[in-house]
Amino acid sequence: MRPVLELGRAGAAGGDRGVRPVLRGDLVVATLRASNWKEAATAVVDEREWVLAKDGRELVARWPADPAGTARLRARQASWWRGTWDVDLEGLVLQAARASFWRSGLRYSDGGRQVALGGTTGGWSPRPTLRADVDLPLHQQVFLLWLELVLARRDATVVGDGGGDGGGGGE
């Protein structure tokens, strides 16, 4: 079984306030500074900065030097009713759907083969997790983990808990 990525609490693992560590076990493998007010974040993965944002109807990731409106990674909701998404990870196109009625995380698949599975930690303040079943580059896994955070916040807003920060706050 591959190690699970977990989005830590803001300021945890020695990070700055508002910066959330991306953990693999006890090891910080990336960081994420997510806005509380809009679907946007900055990630640092392998010393490279990524800009994560909502662009129209898509969630996208690009390098800061890339022109606005371009995307290296993207996710677009295919069906609001079914809760399905089409995710393009630099040419690897995945279909994502709720793993089950009871699970909020997405199951990412390529032609019926599961590639990754999103979820949450247990407890009062659950945080997004991601288990990749195949070798996906770390920046792609962090993008999927951010997608899980965005969807958790959307779900929390719909349910009406008010905070909707996906556990642990942000910027």
Give the closest residue to 83 by CA, choosing from 149, 154, 131, 140: 154
The predicted structure's pLDDT at residue 171:
42
Q: Phi and psi (nearest 5°) for 159? A: -70, -30
The predicted structure's pLDDT at residue 102:
67
Q: Kindly list the averaged pLDDT for each block of 10 residues, start to end, along the chain of length 171.
A: 86 77 94 91 97 96 95 95 92 91 84 94 87 94 96 79 47 42
Q: What does pTM read for this prediction?
A: 0.88
Which ranges of 46-168 would DSSP assign to H, the alpha helix? 138-159
The predicted structure's pLDDT at residue 11:
76
* Torsion sign, CA atoms 69, 137, 165, 119: positive
Domain ranges of the chain: 4-72+119-159
Q: Which amino acid is at 60?
A: V
| Cα–Cα distance, 31 to 20 (Å, whole number) | 6
| Cα–Cα distance, 171 to 162 (Å, whole number) | 16
DSSP code, position 13:
G
| Cα–Cα distance, 132 to 160 (Å, whole number) | 30
